[in-house]
Structure 1
Amino acid sequence: MMTLSKKLWLTFLVFVIVTVGSAFGLAYILYEKLYVDSVKEELVSTAKKLAYDYEGGELDQTFIDQVNWFSEKSHFEAFAVRNPRELAACIPYEADYDTLIGPEEREQLLQNKIIEETGYSERFDRQIISIIVPLLEDRKLNGIIYLYVPLERIDELASSLVIYWTAGAVVIMSFLLAAGMKWTRHLTKPLKDMQSAAVRLSKGDYSARVSERSNDELGMLSKTFNEMANAIETEDELRKTFLATVSHELRTPLSYIKGYSEAAMNGMEGKEKQIAIIHRESKRMERLVNDLLELIRLDSGKMKVDKMPLPFAEIVYRTVETFRPAAKNKMIHFDLNIDEDVIVNGDEGRLEQVMTNILDNAIRYSNKGGMIQITMIQEKETMKLLICDNGVGIQEEELPRITERFYRVNKARTRNDGGSGLGLSIVKQIIELHDGELRIESMEGEGTTVIILLPVLT
């Protein structure tokens, strides 16, 4: 398997190769543009100057000798011929007259245009640049001047720089190699740290973290990884707390059931009381298990919410009637102020479960002879339901945690009354599934108000 550092190093190597290749390509382009073009320009300029001395008429020997004399003094080879057909015998590479001066080239000469030729010479083992300049009089071709020069090869031009080039290349490549390896290790170290931390997380070490060294993408990835690790660690702590609480909640009724069932089996007095306690604790276990199953369905997203248009007033009335016997036992009075025209889009069974849990708490924590006020109004596109009691209330610092699982304000009293500590957590999640909001306001000793906000159908 190719690691990321190897991939980065391979990318770096390819980059260096492409860069060196581009440098050589640029060298050849400069060779062509600067050297070859300059030679051509100089040849043309020289040829024009030689042709300027031609005064017309038949090409005499004096002019030919003058051109030959120039050839001896110049680094260009130059000669003049009367008949262009003599040219094939003078040039330094194999070519016949028709190849050098065909019909097209001859027409150019008659138009007093210069011809440029390039060919390879085995004798010189290099390219040859040549110029053919016409000597005209009244569109009659009386002769031509021919100049040529062997081109220097690029390796010959750079021969003096080869040693410096090689030494410089070695130094630069060594530097790039060392810098590339160091930079690759620098780039991949955060990823290796994250890999190591991820392995620790997978083995249950939720304290694994990585250092946040920069503000770039890798730094942001490290920060995100640490946030994920924090979330996993928090979730693990919550899971452990949840399991410990569930175990504790089940242990208490089980110990009651076990103890009183043994007492009943041993024929101890007060059998009816013992059976009543066993029945109470079994109901408490049943309620706890049912609440746990509800939470599992909510957390897994498997709880189905079958929404349909509902007059919420009917759910309120029906739930209140269900709790009238329990309220009567504590001499609690209901005061209802309900807008019966409010229609919500919701699951009837789940919303009834919400009302059941809230009214159960309201009656449970209200004093004898108290009152529970239920008010439902519509404010624009929202239904606002308020359930107020004048019971024991809740301390202000405990309100933010009231919907947490297994959280109890009065733990001893709740256990005696059979509460699981899960009701409000379930209520909150069901309301959120209906795109609503749950609020709880309370003052210790004065009572509690539960506020439910749900969108209405208009």
Structure 2
Amino acid sequence: MAKWKRALLGLAGILLMNAAIYTCYTVAFTIVSYTKERRNHDAVTSALVHDAELIARAVSGVDGSKNTEAWAASLQPIARDQGYRFLVVDSNGHELRIGDWTHAADAAVTKEQVADVLKGKTVKDVNRAHFFAKGEALAGIPVDVGGVKAALFTEREVPILYKGFGQQLFTVFLGFLLLFVVLFMIGKPWKQREGINLYISAIRRMSKGDFSVSIEKPQRMHGDFEKLATSLNDMAAELSHMEQMRQAFISNVSHEIQSPLTSIRGFARVLQQDGLEEEQRQHYAGIIETESVRLSKLSDNLLKLTTLESEKQPLRLKTFRLDQQLRTTILACEPQWTEKQLQLDINLVEELTLNGDEELLSQVWMNLLSNSIKFTPEGGTLSVEAVRKDGGAVVRIADTGIGISEADLPHIFERFFKADKARSRMAGGSGLGLSIAKRIVELHGGSITAASELGAGTAMNVMLPGDEGRTNM
């Protein structure tokens, strides 16, 4: 009976300690988040200022001659569709309110802020009634309304400081609780106090984002403590790798998006200039359209890859002729390989029937063929071959293009990786095509490999199993 009492007291101590830790953590999170928001609104207000500038340009037109009625007519659909609230105050003190101000405080925009904006300054602020309330992001910029200086204030709701915090806190709390229970149950935890403190310190550092944690010489610890130390080291290494991948992904996405946005912004400014010839105007407009299409394709590919990797993409299985699908895809690419005068070596003699998602697999062949055509010089050769193997099929698409270096070859299926960055940029590639192709093939239980030699060409081999060999569908 005494053992049970000690166990209950120990568990109660663990719960109280966790409660104290997470209470302090919550208070610290509140203070840091609120202070950061009050001193630095870059995450919300900078974007709101950018939106306000774009809206002002669109509403005012090139010459900025639109009057108050024209501004009201233009701002009302934006406020309705996007959830903005607008306040326009001119130098004479006349106000124009657009949007749903029913639940917004009329005093959200102060006289001092109006005066600052009318002087040509930009105002940014976030207001919250209290820590647990949603906030109101405010941005004010100077504008010209029918030749009169005015201040345009744009206001929008921002989420609470604790969005997602509860789930995160509860998950970490359960993790700590389970860890303490495991350590308590595996034997003599109080005699291993030094080791437990080492584990606690390591876990706390990892919970704060420090994945450089390493418990030195875990083999010196006894029994299950050695296994636990090794597992913590492995977990820290894996989390560190995932964090590096996350940062690289964010960096790549930002770079890919920023490049076309910079072009669109620059040529849009040029189009606003007077005295442009029609031929120049059409040329600049065509560049803006091309960059917009590039952004759209990047967005579509990101969405497609995210859906495929989340395993939420349902496979619409059907039986179809793989050889006919390959012929159709080759014909669809005819303008590209005809323009470059490529020689085709097609070996699709065997009739191949496959059970799979015809639409997704068609995207695989289109991605692979497009890459081969894109990076094969004029007069080169493009080969396509499909044969039956073990109830499934093997498709080989090869070219005599520029090839891939030995150092780059292991990375070509990674997201945003471009072996020849200069040529990929000129060709408009985003570095997602092979990642999408690989994921689709894996969803079908198959595999895709590449063999290449720099300057001699590349061969992509896709293995698709038959129904008996497919295990993950």
Name the TM-score class by shorter chain.
0.5 to 0.7
| Other structure's SS at 1:397 match | coil
> Given the superposition, is the C-alpha separation of residues 383 and 198 from structure 1 closer, same or farther in structure 2, using an over 3 Å criterion?
same
Q: Which residue of 2 aligns with 1:187?
A: 192
Q: Which residue of 1 aligns with 2:367?
A: 357
- Letter of the 2:271 counterpart: A
Greater CA drift, 300-309 or 344-353: 300-309
Q: Which residue of 2 aligns with 1:161?
A: none
Q: Distance in 2 between matches of 1:310 and 1:189?
A: 64
- Letter of the 2:463 counterpart: L
Q: Distance in 2 between matches of 1:215 and 1:303?
A: 46
Tell me the CA shift for residue 335 of structure 1: 2.1
Q: Which residue of 2 aligns with 1:290?
A: 300
Q: Distance in 1 between matches of 2:434 and 2:350?
A: 26
Greater CA drift, 354-363 or 218-227: 218-227
Q: Deviations over 1:310-337 (max 9, x none)?
A: 2211221121111101111111232211
| Other structure's SS at 1:403 match | coil
Tell me the CA shift for residue 339 of structure 1: 4.2
> Given the superposition, is the C-alpha separation of residues 7 and 412 from structure 1 closer, same or farther in structure 2, using an over 3 Å criterion?
same
Q: Which residue of 2 aligns with 1:262?
A: 269
Q: Distance in 2 between matches of 1:332 and 1:313?
A: 21
Q: Distance in 2 between matches of 1:449 and 1:326?
A: 19
Q: Deviations over 1:107-161 (max 9, x none)?
A: xxxxxxxxxxxxxxxxxxxxxxxxxxxxxxxxxxxxxxxxxxxxxxxxxxxxxxx
Is the 1:441–1:450 contact (alpha carbons within 8 Å) kept by the matching residues of 2? yes
- What are the within-5 Å matches in structure 2 for residues 404-415 of structure 1? 404-415=414-425
Is the 1:343–1:456 contact (alpha carbons within 8 Å) kept by the matching residues of 2? no
Q: Distance in 2 between matches of 1:215 and 1:374?
A: 59
Q: Which runs of 5+ in 1 are unaligned?
A: 11-181
1:217 equivalent to 2:224? Answer: yes
Tell me the CA shift for residue 5 of structure 1: 13
Q: Distance in 1 between matches of 2:463 and 2:196?
A: 47
1:391 equivalent to 2:401? Answer: yes
> Given the superposition, is the C-alpha separation of residues 339 and 222 from structure 1 closer, same or farther in structure 2, using an over 3 Å criterion?
farther
Is the 2:390–2:465 contact (alpha carbons within 8 Å) kept by the matching residues of 1? no
| Structure of higher CA gyration radius | 1
> Given the superposition, is the C-alpha separation of residues 339 and 228 from structure 1 closer, same or farther in structure 2, using an over 3 Å criterion?
farther
> Given the superposition, is the C-alpha separation of residues 419 and 208 from structure 1 closer, same or farther in structure 2, using an over 3 Å criterion?
same
Is the 1:393–1:444 contact (alpha carbons within 8 Å) kept by the matching residues of 2? yes
- What are the within-5 Å matches in structure 2 for residues 244-263 of structure 1? 244-263=251-270
Q: Distance in 1 between matches of 2:188 and 2:194?
A: 10
Structure 2 residue aligned with 1:381, among 379, 391, 398? Answer: 391
Is the 1:8–1:184 contact (alpha carbons within 8 Å) kept by the matching residues of 2? no
- What are the within-5 Å matches in structure 2 for residues 20-419 of structure 1? 184-211=189-216, 212=218, 213-214=220-221, 216-267=223-274, 268-269=276-277, 270-419=280-429
1:447 equivalent to 2:452? Answer: no
Tell me the CA shift for residue 373 of structure 1: 0.7
Is the 1:335–1:371 contact (alpha carbons within 8 Å) kept by the matching residues of 2? yes
| Other structure's SS at 1:308 match | strand
Is the 1:311–1:340 contact (alpha carbons within 8 Å) kept by the matching residues of 2? no
Q: Distance in 2 between matches of 1:318 and 1:414?
A: 26
Q: Which runs of 5+ in 2 are unaligned?
A: 11-186, 469-473
Q: Distance in 1 between matches of 2:388 and 2:188?
A: 65
Q: Distance in 1 between matches of 2:254 and 2:4?
A: 47
Q: Which runs of 4+ in 1 moved over 6 A?
A: none
Tell me the CA shift for residue 6 of structure 1: 5.4
| Other structure's SS at 2:407 match | helix
Q: Distance in 2 between matches of 1:261 and 1:309?
A: 49
| Other structure's SS at 1:302 match | coil
Q: Distance in 2 between matches of 1:204 and 1:394?
A: 37
- Letter of the 1:236 counterpart: E
Is the 1:309–1:457 contact (alpha carbons within 8 Å) kept by the matching residues of 2? no
| Other structure's SS at 1:396 match | coil
Is the 1:437–1:453 contact (alpha carbons within 8 Å) kept by the matching residues of 2? yes
Tell me the CA shift for residue 340 of structure 1: 4.2
Is the 1:4–1:188 contact (alpha carbons within 8 Å) kept by the matching residues of 2? no
| Other structure's SS at 2:413 match | coil
Tell me the CA shift for residue 187 of structure 1: 3.0
| Other structure's SS at 2:319 match | strand
- Letter of the 1:207 counterpart: S
